[in-house]
Structure formats: structure tokens, C-alpha cells
């Protein structure tokens, strides 16, 4: 046992205890935990990928406020259903944890509740996974009421299947979800009922937030301002880009998931067009399903956007993996068909790598959001892309169809409008969806 300071009654409990099993409790940040990381290379996978994932997991652990002190890896055909690792490797892991005085073991892949329970019994310390670490980071960084509700909902969905009988109730752990224990109820039943009730309340609150946001989105649509959302891997520089373009004042830190809350600002493009530009939460490899589900109300701004600016770190050693991770989440939330423009950031860090990556993708631009390099070119490209998403259409609208004229004014940009003998001749810039609704009024010659 080392002489570092740890609360006397919490040996090997760890600050991630909220997501542990037998050791579940309040997250304790009175000392920096010592963490051993575990990665498994399964059939068809490469050890180089496991190495990269563990390096990223070490970053996540550091962001959460702990220290990774050791690593264990194993190659297997498939995970052991009881302990994920083989029995011999579990014993090796326990001995390493004892030697390093480790508090917690973190697996790069998600553990089932049974695997987590079995590992904690064998290792005599908290065993969690990447999902728990990410949920913990989100819990630290959520500031808005919506962000806090979304994170809490994701945490509850993660914890529910991992509940099991123990001596300490959730209310004593600081949950304060308050309900009296009924006659004959076990503490497990009380805890589960409290969490379920809280989960349903959060779901209702987020549905209302989503309803309000959709109403606001319709109002913005009537303003005819194009909506552009910034997406990308966490720490790719999305908030730095928004700040550079709009002086938004969004917190920028060189750490994972520093920004969780969406921020929208107006941006004037070359040529005078004003657009609404929104920064969004960053994505990551193996982003927990619970978070994707919980953050759907925030991510609606991505689904409803006219164009996505996909920011990728041009200095990273694995840009393709980052690009693929973002694309997977976009597909998952229903944004796969939203047009996008790739922006390769951090050209000041690795000029050659950033320009090479940009040249490999049609229409991509290389920039430095920190120094401003390439920003003017990016804005011109953005204006061109937005203009390309709409086309000028000639319409002949009968005088009695005022509703059609109103639709054109509401959904498009009217360039020319003049009466003729047969009706109102209108020349307007319309997006593809709006133009398709007006086919019968299109003038073909």
C-alpha cells in the first residue's frame, strides 16, 4: 500500500465508484485514482488499433481526473462471457493491480453487468469500462439544464441493469431521489423504482425541450437563414473555429469533451449572406449508445441543418478512424443525407499532413482555427456550397393561389416577381425539397 492520501474507508473503491458494482457510491475526487487499463484484440482486429484505443482511453481517464498507471492486453477469439478476459489473464491483472496499488480497472470495451460483477469479486476493486468513464466526463462538463438532464438520463440508463443488492441506498449516496421504502420491498427494488421514476421525469423534460426547439427551428426556417452545424471528433477544434468566426466566447480547452452544450451564432459569408452557425458536442470512437440516445434533442440541430461542417484534426495519426467514427454517429441519428463540407483543422500544427488530408477529399479545405490560416478560403467555399444547394426556379402562379406565393416567399428567396396575363411570374432561389413541391407551377420554356 502506498502512502498517498486516500480516505481510510475507501481503499480500492475509486472515484468512478458510481459506475461500479459492489463498490457503487458517490464519485470521490479527493485524490487522483490509479487506473489500470485493459484492452482486448478480438479475431479480425489489429493490435495497433487496440494500442490506439488504449492511448485514447488514457486521455479519457486523465480528463476524468485519474492517472493510468498500467496496461494489460490480451488477444482472444471472443470475450469470455463471465469475465471478458481469460481466467489466467484475470489473475495476472489482479497481481499487477496489487503491485501498482491500483484503485480501479478500466476496460476499453463495454462490460456486461455480469462481467463487471465477476471481475470486481476476483480483482477486489472497482471494474468499469470506457462507457462509464465517458459518462463521468460528461457529468463533470454538463452546465446547461438540458445538458445536465441528458447526461443524468444516460447515466441512469447505464446504471439500471447494473443495480444489485447492497447495503447502501441510493439516497444515502447523494442521489436524493426520495421515496419511502414500502413494506416488504428490498433496497434493490427501492433503488430501481427511484431510478425509473427519475428516468421517466427526465425523458418527459427532454421531450418538452425538443418540442420548444422544433418550434424555434420553424421560426428560423421562416427567416430563410441557412443553418450550418459544426460536427467532428472531440478536440478537433470545433469550438475554436466557432469562436474565430463569430466571437462566440465558447470555452476552449485542450481536453476531451470540453464543450457539451450547443451554441448558435450568426455568421456573415462573403457576398453578404447570413447563416446560423452551431457548434455541437464532439463524437468519439465507441461513443456510448446511452449518450447518443440521451443527446438526441441537442443533436436535432445536426439533423435539421442545411449543411454540416465536418471538422477533422489534421495533425492526428488516425484521421480516417476519426472520420469514420463521426460518420457512424451521423448515420445513427439520421443525419446521413445532410450535405457536408470537410474542414481539416490544425494546419499550424502539421501543415503537410493537413494539406495532404484535405487534398484526399473532394471539396475539403485546410485551415488553422487558432491562427486564422485558410479561414477566408473556407468561408468562400462554404458560401459556394450553400448556393449550390439551391437553384433558381421560374414559376407561373395563378393569381388565386396566394397560398403558393406565400410558400415561395417563406421557403425561398424571391429574385423577380411580376404580373402577367396568365398569373404571377416568379423567379426564386429554392432548395431541392421546396422546388419539388412546386413542380406543377414550374415554367419549362
**What is the tens place of the pLDDT at every residue in 158-185?**
999 988 754 444 443 433 223 344 455 6
* Position 343 in a domain: yes
Res 231 pLDDT > 90: yes
pLDDT of residue 212: 86
Measured distance CA(197)–CA(208) in Å, rounded: 17
Query: 365 with 418, same domain?
Result: no
For position 224, what pLDDT does the model report?
66
Tell me what the mean pLDDT of segment 90-111 comes to: 97
Q: Is residue 3 part of a domain?
A: no
Query: What value does the mean pLDDT take over residues 141-145?
Result: 85
Which has more pLDDT, 66 or 288? Answer: 66
CB < 8 Å & 24+ apart, contacts of 324-328: 325/233, 325/283, 325/284, 325/285, 325/287, 326/231, 326/232, 326/233, 326/283
Q: Which domain holds residue 43?
A: 8-138
pLDDT of residue 1: 39
pLDDT at 83: 97
What is the average pLDDT across 131-146? 89
Do 80 and 189 belong to one domain?
A: no
Q: Which of 133-147, 169-183, 362-376 has the lowest mean pLDDT?
A: 169-183
Q: Residue 4 — very low, low, confident or very high, per pLDDT cuts 50/70/90?
A: low
Residue 242 pLDDT more than 70? yes
Q: How far is CA 54 from the centre of its chain?
A: 19
- Asked if residue 416 and residue 383 are part of one domain, the reply reads no
Mean pLDDT of 293-316: 89
φ and ψ of 346, to 5 deg: 70, 40
CATH number of 419's domain = 3.30.70
Same domain? For 380 and 413 the reply is: no
Q: Which of 156-170, 249-263, 266-280, 338-352 has the lowest mean pLDDT?
A: 249-263
Asked whether residue 217 carries a pLDDT value surpassing 80, the answer given is no
pLDDT for 12 beyond 80:
no
> Are the C-beta atoms of 89 and 74 separated by less than 8 Å?
yes
In a domain, 66, yes or no: yes
Is residue 213 one of the residues assigned to a domain?
no
Residues 39 and 86 in one domain: yes
Residue 12 sits in the same domain as residue 70: yes
Q: What's the average model confidence in pLDDT over 37-57? A: 95
SS3 content of the chain, % helix, strand, coil (to 5): 45, 20, 35
pLDDT of amino acid 221: 60
Residues 186 and 51 in one domain: no
- Asked, for residue 436, whether it belongs to a domain, the answer is yes
User: What pLDDT does residue 42 have?
Assistant: 95
C-alpha span between 294 and 182 (Å, rounded): 31
Res 185: pLDDT: 62
- Alpha-carbon distance 225 to 235, whole Å? 28
29 and 65 share a domain? yes
Report the pLDDT value the prediction gives residue 23, as an integer from 0 to 100: 38
Average pLDDT, the chain: 85
Supply the pLDDT for residue 26: 34
The answer to the question of residue 217 being in a domain is: no
Q: How large is the average pLDDT for residues 69-93?
A: 97
Q: Give the confidence band of 400 by pLDDT, cuts at 50, 70, 90.
A: very high
pLDDT of 358 higher than 90? yes
> 21 falls in which pLDDT band (50, 70, 90)?
very low
**83, 123 in Cβ contact below 8 A?**
no
Is residue 210 very low, low, confident or very high in pLDDT (cuts 50, 70, 90)? confident
Extract the C-alpha cell encoding 410.
417563406
**Any domain includes 176:** yes
Q: Which of 93, 139, 99, 100 minimizes the C-alpha distance to 120?
A: 93
* Same domain assignment for residues 152 and 203: yes
Q: How many residues in the chain?
A: 445
Q: Which of 5-9, 48-52, 195-199, 345-349 has the lowest mean pLDDT?
A: 5-9
Q: Which stretch of 3-12, 251-260, 366-375 has the lowest confidence by average pLDDT?
A: 3-12
**Alpha helix ranges (H) inside 223-374:** 238-246, 289-294, 296-303, 319-332, 351-359
What's the whole-number mean pLDDT along residues 292-318?
89
Domain match, 54 and 182 both: no
pLDDT at position 11: 44
Residue 316: which of 245, 232, 406, 383 has the closest Cα? 232
Q: Looking at the predicted structure, is the pLDDT value of residue 32 above 70?
A: yes
Q: How many separate domains does the chain show?
A: 4
The CATH code of the domain that includes 260 is: 3.40.50.300
Which of the listed residues 348, 367, 388 is the one where a domain comes to its end?
388
| pLDDT band, residue 374 (cuts 50/70/90) | very high
Query: Who has greater pLDDT, 145 or 364?
Result: 364
43 is a domain residue: yes
Same domain, 296 and 411: no
Which residues are CB-neighbours of 34 under 8 A, at least 6 positions away?
66, 67, 69, 100, 101, 102, 103, 104
Q: Considering only residues 202 and 22, tell me which one the structure prediction assigns the higher pLDDT.
A: 202
Average pLDDT over residues 212-219: 75
Which band of pLDDT confidence, cut at 50, 70 and 90, is reported for residue 327? very high
Reported confidence tier of residue 413, pLDDT bands at 50, 70, 90: confident
Same domain flag for 260 and 378: yes
Measure CA 100 to chain center. Answer: 33
Amino acid at each position: 500500500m502506498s502512502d498517498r492520501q486516500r480516505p481510510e474507508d475507501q481503499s480500492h473503491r475509486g472515484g468512478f465508484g458510481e459506475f461500479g458494482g459492489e463498490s457503487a457510491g458517490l464519485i470521490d475526487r479527493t485524490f487522483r485514482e490509479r487506473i489500470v487499463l485493459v484492452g482486448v484484440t478480438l479475431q479480425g482486429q489489429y493490435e495497433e488499433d487496440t494500442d490506439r484505443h488504449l492511448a485514447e482511453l488514457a486521455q479519457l481517464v486523465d480528463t476524468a481526473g485519474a492517472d493510468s498507471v498500467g496496461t494489460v492486453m490480451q488477444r482472444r477469439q471472443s470475450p469470455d462471457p463471465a469475465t471478458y478476459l481469460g481466467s489466467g489473464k484475470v489473475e495476472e491483472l489482479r497481481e499487477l493491480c496489487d503491485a501498482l496499488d491500483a484503485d480501479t480497472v478500466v476496460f476499453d470495451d463495454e462490460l456486461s453487468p455480469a462481467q463487471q460483477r465477476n471481475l470486481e469479486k476476483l480483482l477486489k476493486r472497482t471494474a468499469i469500462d470506457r462507457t462509464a468513464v465517458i459518462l463521468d466526463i460528461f457529468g463533470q462538463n454538463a452546465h446547461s439544464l438540458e445538458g445536465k438532464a441528458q447526461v443524468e438520463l444516460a447515466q441512469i440508463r447505464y446504471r439500471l441493469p447494473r443495480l444489485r443488492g447492497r447495503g447502501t441506498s441510493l439516497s444515502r449516496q447523494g442521489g436524493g431521489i426520495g421515496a419511502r421504502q414500502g413494506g416488504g420491498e428490498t433496497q434493490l427494488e427501492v433503488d430501481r423504482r427511484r431510478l425509473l421514476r427519475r428516468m421517466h421525469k427526465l425523458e418527459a423534460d427532454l421531450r418538452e425541450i425538443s418540442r420548444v426547439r422544433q418550434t424555434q427551428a420553424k421560426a428560423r426556417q421562416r427567416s430563410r437563414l441557412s443553418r450550418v452545424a459544426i460536427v467532428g471528433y472531440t478536440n478537433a477544434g470545433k469550438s475554436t473555429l466557432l469562436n474565430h468566426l463569430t466571437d462566440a466566447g465558447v470555452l476552449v480547452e485542450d481536453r476531451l469533451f470540453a464543450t457539451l452544450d450547443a451554441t448558435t451564432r450568426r455568421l456573415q459569408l462573403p457576398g453578404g449572406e447570413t447563416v446560423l452557425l452551431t457548434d455541437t458536442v464532439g463524437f468519439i470512437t465507441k461513443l456510448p449508445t446511452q449518450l447518443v440516445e440521451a443527446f438526441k434533442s441537442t443533436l436535432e440541430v445536426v439533423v435539421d441543418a442545411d449543411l454540416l461542417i465536418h471538422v477533422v484534426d489534421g495533425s492526428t495519426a488516425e484521421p480516417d478512424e476519426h472520420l469514420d467514427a463521426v460518420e457512424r454517429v451521423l448515420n445513427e441519428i439520421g443525419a446521413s443525407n445532410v450535405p457536408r463540407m470537410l474542414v481539416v483543422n490544425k494546419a499550424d500544427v502539421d501543415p503537410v499532413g493537413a494539406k495532404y488530408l484535405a487534398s484526399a477529399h473532394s471539396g475539403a479545405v485546410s485551415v488553422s482555427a487558432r491562427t486564422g490560416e485558410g479561414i477566408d478560403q473556407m468561408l468562400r467555399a462554404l458560401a459556394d456550397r450553400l448556393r449550390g444547394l439551391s437553384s433558381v426556379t421560374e414559376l407561373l402562379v395563378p393569381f388565386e393561389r396566394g397560398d403558393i406565393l406565400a410558400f415561395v416567399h417563406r421557403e425561398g428567396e424571391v429574385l423577380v416577381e411580376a404580373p402577367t396575363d396568365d398569373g404571377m411570374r416568379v423567379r426564386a432561389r429554392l432548395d431541392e425539397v421546396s422546388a419539388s413541391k412546386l413542380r406543377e407551377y414550374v415554367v419549362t420554356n
